Amino acid sequence: MKYIDEFQDPELARRLLDDIHATVTRPWALMEVCGGQTHTIIRHGIDQLLPKEVELIHGPGCPVCVTPLEVIDKALEIASRPGVIFCSFGDMLRVPGTGRDLFGVRGEGGDVRVVYSPLDALRIARENPDREVVFFGIGFETTAPPNAMTVYQARKLGIANFSLLVSHVRVPPAIEAIMRSSDCRVQGFLAAGHVCSVMGTEEYPELADGFGVPIVVTGFEPLDILEGVRRAVRQLEHGEYRVENAYPRAVRPEGNPAAKAMLADVFEVTDRAWRGIGVIPDSGWRLAERYREYDAEHRFSVTGITTREPAECRSGEVLQGLIKPHECEAFGGVCTPRTPLGATMVSSEGACAAYYLYRRLGGTSAPLEASPVG
Ligand code: SF4
């Protein structure tokens, strides 16, 4: 398949690995920001093919995983209200809130629908003018533009029975929070290529300079990951720290100006809580004042809902790269994809789910369901 097969070529992977092995002289810890990159790494056994000196730390870039429990509880409350049609992408339906999930609400008679685009939810609102239609808008800079566009369209078309439950987060403040943590071991980042395809690379030089870390914009196929690691390790070995774009087939320095303009019109930057991590200043978006009437939290008066995270779930430490998933006592026992305690075990991009799916149960076990690329 074009644009897939050539980025999984075993011979090219071997050459990149040889280059990395020849370059490394001492230990380095790199963080891949995105959960999609984590799954590629674990699925293809890339971490096991790298020199033992190169450690990959799994970052917080899974949108489902970082959505705070209290936002899930707000979604459950709104979805339970009579007359509401609650629309969401499918991966949120099994994320546990306090005592139940959106599937449970549907089982109790709630009208919870899976959609494939926020514009589907807007169409449903148009077709059901006597119902309130809510879309669950979560995610990073990648999913925020279409959600912004949907609110923009709702206002333009005069669709008043549509609203957005917003939980959008931004990557650069999370990188800053990770680097400021006293436990931080990260020496370089593989930045999320899809985020940069929207936002460009302009936010990253300040972070690379300020913290003395290489930041390599990286894609999601095995060769993308290896090239990102190769470039980051080269910089570290040469005592350099700058932003490099290793994903030029998708990322331009300026990003996507139309998407950025839509974000700037509909959203404003705000402090956001990250699940298991806490509030990170300026790390999220909320609807701008002129669009506030489309804010589901206000429309359904759920701003006051607050929830404590379950104590036994260590997803906050997983999301900050402080432990690997199998180091959580609940991993694979109390907590499995069928009985998840935390979102990192539910989400298709979650690190706990990746370790469970590919049988990383501790020690040096090899992945069972996929072959290494090399
Ligand atoms: S294994 Fe389960 S309980 Fe442990 S951190 Fe992951 S999601 Fe939380």
CATH assignment of the domain containing 114? 3.40.50.11740
Query: What residues flank ligand 1, with Cβ below 6 Å?
Result: 313-315, 318, 325, 328, 330-331, 335, 340-342, 344-345, 352
Task: Count other C-beta atoms under 10 Å from residue 239's C-beta.
Answer: 7
pLDDT of residue 2: 72
> What residue type is assigned to position 286 of the chain?
R
Please, what is the Cα angle at 288 between 59 and 301, to 5 degrees? 85
In the three-class reduction of DSSP (H, G, I as helix; E, B as strand; rest coil), residue 169 is classed as strand
The closest residue, in CA terms, to atom 7 on ligand 1 is 342
Ligand 1 centroid distance, CA of 339 (Å): 10
Q: Tell me how far apart the alpha carbons of residues 114 and 76 are, in angstroms, rounded to a whole number.
A: 14
Of 179, 198, 197, 177, the residue nearest 188 (C-alpha): 179
Instruction: Give the domain range for residue 134.
Output: 66-170+255-299
Q: Tell me how far apart the alpha carbons of residues 185 and 191 are, in angstroms, rounded to a whole number.
A: 16
Of 221, 226, 213, the residue nearest 29 (C-alpha): 213
Backbone angles phi, psi at 186, to 5 degrees: -75, 130
Look at strands 162-169 and 278-287 and give their pairing: antiparallel
Is residue 83 within 8 Å of 299, Cβ to Cβ? no
pLDDT of residue 368: 34
Cα(first)–Cα(last) distance of the chain, in Å? 19
User: Could you tell which of 314, 334, 336, 357 is best to mutate to test the pocket of ligand 1, judged by most ligand atoms within 8 Å of the CB?
Assistant: 314
Is 130 a member of any domain? yes
Q: What is the pTM of this model?
A: 0.89
Task: Report H helices in 131-204.
Answer: 144-157, 171-180, 193-199
Is 165 a member of any domain? yes
pLDDT of residue 374: 27
Residue 70 neighbours by CB under 8 Å, 6+ apart: 273, 305, 306, 307
Atom of ligand 1 nearest to the CA of 356: 1
Is 83 a member of any domain? yes
Is 211 a member of any domain? no
Of 231, 223, 246, the residue nearest 9 (C-alpha): 223
Give the tokens for residue 328: 């959580």
Is 34 a member of any domain? no
User: Could you tell which of 331, 334, 346, 361 is best to mutate to test the pocket of ligand 1, judged by most ligand atoms within 8 Å of the CB?
Assistant: 331
Q: What is the pLDDT along the chain (374 residues), one digit of tens a residue?
A: 677 778 888 899 999 999 999 999 999 999 999 989 999 999 999 999 999 999 999 888 888 888 988 999 999 999 999 999 999 999 899 888 888 899 999 999 999 999 999 999 999 999 999 999 999 999 999 999 999 999 999 999 999 999 999 999 999 999 999 999 888 999 999 999 999 999 999 999 999 999 999 999 999 999 999 999 999 999 999 999 999 999 999 999 999 999 999 999 999 999 998 887 889 999 999 999 999 999 999 999 998 888 777 788 898 888 878 899 999 999 999 999 888 888 788 887 889 998 998 877 764 444 333 333 32
Ligand 1 centroid distance, CA of 181 (Å): 21
CA 233 to chain centre: 24
The count of domains in the chain is 1
Residue for token digits 């030089």? 205
Is 101 a member of any domain? yes
218 sits in which H/E element: strand 215-218
Is 281 a member of any domain? yes
Is 119 a member of any domain? yes
Ligand 1 centroid distance, CA of 220 (Å): 24
Q: Which residues pair with 135 in a beta bridge?
A: 87, 164
Is residue 198 within 8 Å of 327, Cβ to Cβ? no
User: Could you tell which of 42, 328, 355 is best to mutate to test the pocket of ligand 1, judged by most ligand atoms within 8 Å of the CB?
Assistant: 328
Please, what is the Cα angle at 26 between 25 and 32, to 5 degrees? 110
Q: Tell me how far apart the alpha carbons of residues 274 and 271 are, in angstroms, rounded to a whole number.
A: 10
> What residue type is assigned to position 289 of the chain?
E
Dihedral in degrees, nearest 10, Cα atoms 360, 364, 369, 372: 130
Q: Exposed/middle/buried for 359, CB within 10 Å: 0-12, 13-18, 19+?
A: middle
Residue 142 neighbours by CB under 8 Å, 6+ apart: 192, 194, 195, 197, 198
Is residue 360 within 8 Å of 78, Cβ to Cβ? no
Ligand 1 centroid distance, CA of 351 (Å): 9
